[in-house]
Structure 1
Amino acid sequence: MSWCKNVKGVLLDITGVLFESGASEPIKGSIEAIKRLKDSKIPVRFCTNETTKTRQKLLQKLHSIGFSMKEDDVFPPIPACCQILKSRGLRPHLVVNPDALSDFCEINQENPNCVVLGDATDNFSYQNLNKAFQLLMSLETPVLFALGGGKYYKEGSDLILDVGPFAKALEYACDVEAEIVGKPSKSFFGAVLQDLGQPAESVVMIGDDIVNDVGGAQSCGMRGVQVRTGKYRPSDENHPTVKADGYVDNLAHAIDLILQS
């Protein structure tokens, strides 16, 4: 088992790895696993496509269930997207969850010239998607951002549509390719690696999504390991295009292997 050898940095997904979506308790052993990883001096960053709440609210949830991490170590898509919007002078029409709106408070949204699509949950109505479609069609050069490329996630015992399918609908209708901000984007992973200060080949990404976590990490030169928690399904181990470098029962199992090696 070579994936766990010579690991100099670890990237962790949050939902499905640290806790199950909608749960108020951590996945068994995950708090202790992160503590052991930090005690070993291996740097760790937390990469998430969570856009149903602000980064601050996500951090508050993590702290409330027993985790301890700094805000700067948590990488969700919205702050990265805001940096892009500012640098390119773009004014977004937002189709996002209401709980995430405050993270865009410093962004000019008047006379929008692009669309930002997040995990809007109940706001993924026909009316809201049609407004986004109409704006994109009115622009000479339409720009569409998707805050992640996930197909679905797991909440409780149910699978829930993620932002990816709605982005694909707008891509098809408007003949535009969405710019992904978040996993599995190479630019997103590259920014996290730069902050981590380690080369890709020395880093392991641990997540529950075979495509966005594992495949996205591998496309950037990292090792990708899938946990059998969260949205994991047995069929993932026979995925037609992505083969994880390793499969583990949970985060604690993965950290055991890394530290033992």
Structure 2
Amino acid sequence: MVKGVLLDLSGVLYDGDQPVPGAAEAVATLRAGGLPVRFLTNSTRAPRRKLLEKLRKMGFELEDEELFTPARAACDALTAKGVKAHLLIHPDLAEDFEGHEDSDRPGALVVGDAGPYFTFDRLNAAFRVLSAGAAFYALAANRAFRDADGELSMDAGAFVAALEYASGTEAEVLGKPAKAFFAAALDDMGVTAEEAAMVGDDAESDVAGALRAGLGRAVLVKTGKYRDGDETGIDPAPSHVAADLSAAVDWLLS
């Protein structure tokens, strides 16, 4: 029996600047059924503040603490390690790292989706930080995301892989599909992994990642970045494939 639900944001709750039809109502249905909900995103271009504003303007009701982001996980990791970081991120995300940055004497490198700011000079500066022995944190390592024009665009994963190859240092991924990222949200809900379900549009990070982390169920929705056949060739396979979040909620509650 499902006792808690984790939801991806982009592609599940909204596409670009438009909510997925029926998504806000589907979240309300979960809450009305007594199920706690937490929101997990690998989005690393927008700060937490703007993500919360965006969701609320679209009609989603949530508390600040219910949103889990890789930047939040990175700041926790930096604090635990007692170091500051050199940041290779989109400038809009900088506010989430206030007090955690030190490009002169960094003990860690943090890489997010810098988009057009993935220049050679910035990548090379990050490579030199790793060559000096810094820890390597990747906010996420997704292959692609659905961009504002409706087409797929490269995500941070390829740039993380390039830095890994050049430096010989393996990145610790902090967002999905990291088990610790799922575990933080599960602990906050007070449910075990076996009692929880994940709903996402990314077959690798959201679905297979959740199942590898021990979640009892993971539903792939055919919205957002989903492309025909995404559910094939991944291991573990989705527990269910649904047309959208509303259909996923119907299945979870059935």
Amino acid at match of 1:10: V
Structure-2 separation of matches of 1:40 and 1:106: 40
Matched, 1:82 2:56: no
Structure-1 separation of matches of 2:46 and 2:230: 28
Matches within 5 A, 1:119-134: 119-134=113-128
Q: CA deviation at 1:108?
A: 4.3
Is the Cα contact below 8 Å between 2:208 and 2:234 reproduced in 1?
Answer: no
Matched, 1:116 2:88: no
Q: CA deviation at 1:224?
A: 1.2
| Gapped regions of structure 1 (runs ≥ 5) | 1-5
Is the Cα contact below 8 Å between 2:204 and 2:234 reproduced in 1?
Answer: no
Deviations 1:163-214 (A, max 9, x none): 1111111111111110101100011111111111111111110000001000
Matched, 1:244 2:238: yes
Higher relative contact order (CA 8 A, sep 6+): 1
Amino acid at match of 2:50: K
Amino acid at match of 1:145: Y
Q: CA deviation at 1:97?
A: 0.8
Amino acid at match of 1:202: E
Give the fraction of aligned pairs with identical amino acids, expressed as a percent: 41
Return closer, same or farther for 1:67/1:249 CA change in 2, 3 Å cut-off: same
Which of 223, 233, 247 is matched with 1:229 structurally?
A: 223
Q: CA deviation at 1:129?
A: 0.5
Matched, 1:94 2:77: no
Matched, 1:14 2:9: yes
Is the Cα contact below 8 Å between 2:45 and 2:114 reproduced in 1?
Answer: yes
Is the Cα contact below 8 Å between 1:210 and 1:242 reproduced in 2?
Answer: no
Judge which range, 215-224 or 108-117, deviates more: 108-117
What SS does the aligned partner of 2:50 have? helix
What SS does the aligned partner of 2:52 have? helix
Matches within 5 A, 1:14-53: 14-20=9-15, 22-23=16-17, 25-53=18-46
Structure-2 separation of matches of 1:26 and 1:124: 29
Structure-2 separation of matches of 1:244 and 1:85: 33
Is the Cα contact below 8 Å between 1:146 and 1:167 reproduced in 2?
Answer: yes
Structure-1 separation of matches of 2:195 and 2:80: 31
Matched, 1:168 2:161: yes
Which of 160, 174, 182 is matched with 1:189 structurally?
A: 182
Matched, 1:180 2:190: no
| Gapped regions of structure 2 (runs ≥ 5) | none
What SS does the aligned partner of 2:19 have? coil
TM-score, reference length from structure 1: 0.93
User: Could you say which residue in structure 2 is the equivalent of 1:212?
Assistant: 205
TM-score, reference length from structure 2: 0.96
Is the Cα contact below 8 Å between 1:211 and 1:242 reproduced in 2?
Answer: no
Structure-2 separation of matches of 1:239 and 1:63: 36
Q: CA deviation at 1:241?
A: 3.3
Aligned length: 251
Which of 203, 209, 212 is matched with 2:196 structurally?
A: 203
Structure-2 separation of matches of 1:210 and 1:69: 25
Which of 50, 53, 56 is matched with 2:49 structurally?
A: 56
Amino acid at match of 1:197: G
